[in-house]
Amino acid sequence: MTDSTTKTDAEDERPVDFVDAVRQAVSRALSNRENVVMVRVSNDALRYLEMLVEAGITKSRSESVAFLVNEGIRASDQLFKRIEEITAQISGLRQKLSAIVAEETDLNI
């Protein structure tokens, strides 16, 4: 007979799987950090960043930000694809408009 407080094998493995998944996500986020961006964050955001450091998930607030930005982008992948399509259209329209203005006014814009 199993006590209700006794964990099953699946429950014992779940935290390890979760920790591994988080470690992989952090590793992915930190793999190509080539650019520096300075940001200001709210007190609440800072609390969460420091929570990740305190938990040992990241080594610094900078790593916490990189991790959360990467995860946010991954979670919004479809939105960013739509934005990319529309900004490409906007760029094309700007080029057409510049060509029309240059043609009509003899200006090289």
pLDDT digits (tens, 9 = 90+) for 81-90: 999 999 999 9
**Is there a domain that residue 66 lies in?**
yes
User: Number of structural domains, the chain?
Assistant: 2
Q: Is the pLDDT assigned to residue 107 strictly greater than 70?
A: no
Q: Taking the CA atoms of the chain, what radius of gyration do you get in angstroms?
A: 24
Query: Chain-centre distance of CA 68, in angstroms?
Result: 5
Q: Is the domain of 52 the same as that of 105?
A: no
**Is there a domain that residue 97 lies in?**
yes
Report how far apart, in Å, the C-alpha atoms of 90 and of each of 84, 85, 96 are. Answer: 10, 9, 10
pLDDT digits (tens, 9 = 90+) for 44-94: 999 999 999 998 888 899 989 999 998 899 999 999 999 999 999 999 999
Q: Is the domain of 59 the same as that of 93?
A: no
Structure tokens at 90: 């906007």
Q: Is the domain of 85 the same as that of 66?
A: no
pTM of the model: 0.62
Q: Is the pLDDT assigned to residue 108 strictly greater than 80?
A: no
Domain of 98, in residue numbers: 76-109
Q: Is the domain of 65 the same as that of 28?
A: yes
Q: Is the domain of 49 the same as that of 22?
A: yes
**Is there a domain that residue 92 lies in?**
yes
Q: Is the pLDDT assigned to residue 105 strictly greater than 80?
A: yes
Structure tokens at 42: 């709210």
Do 58 and 26 contact (CB within 8 A), yes or no?
A: yes
